[in-house]
Every structure is written in structure tokens, then in C-alpha cells.
Amino acid sequence: MTRIDRFIRTHFASSAPAVEGQGLVEYSLILLFVVLVCVGALTGVGTALVPYYQKVVAAFP
């Protein structure tokens, strides 16, 4: 083992387990799923509300 290897292992080696990154990935996937559901719901509701918006716009001169 060279001096550089030893220095990197002693100063930059994390004592935390490798599982910590897994939680971040899981939360980001959950957030992505929630965002996709919200976008889908808003798209569906938005297209259903178009006739009502058109009525409101037509009511104003």
C-alpha cells in the first residue's frame, strides 16, 4: 500500500455504512412517483375543466 492509498483510506474513508445512500434513493423514487401522480391528476382535471373556463371567458365582454 502506498502512502497515497493509506492517506486516502484514513482521511476520506467513511465510517458510515453504505446503506445510507439507499434511503436517499428510496425517498427520491417516492417523490418522483408522487409528482407523476399529481401531474396526471392535474392533467385529467384540467382537461375536464376546459368547458367551464370557456363559459367563464365567454361571459365577460
pLDDT in tens, 33-46: 999 999 999 998 98
Identify whether 17 is part of a domain. no
Share of the chain above pLDDT 90, in %: 48
Judge whether 18 lies within some domain.
no
- pTM value is 0.52
What pLDDT is stored for residue 8 in this prediction?
Answer: 77
Does residue 54 lie in a domain region?
A: yes
- Give the model's pLDDT for residue 54: 93
Report percent pLDDT > 70 for the chain: 85
The span from the CA of 34 to the CA of 28, in Å, is: 10
Report CA-CA distances (Å) from 3 to 6, 9, 14, 15, 61.
5, 10, 18, 20, 81
pLDDT at 55 over 90: yes
Q: Cα–Cα distance between 44 and 37 in angstroms, integer?
A: 11
- Mean pLDDT of the region 14-18: 58
How would you label 32-48 residue by residue, b for 16+ Cβ within 10 Å and e otherwise?
eeeeeeeeeeeeeeeee
The answer to whether residue 11 is domain-embedded is no
Q: Which helix (H) or strand (E) holds 8?
A: helix 3-12
Whether 46 maps to a domain, the answer reads: yes
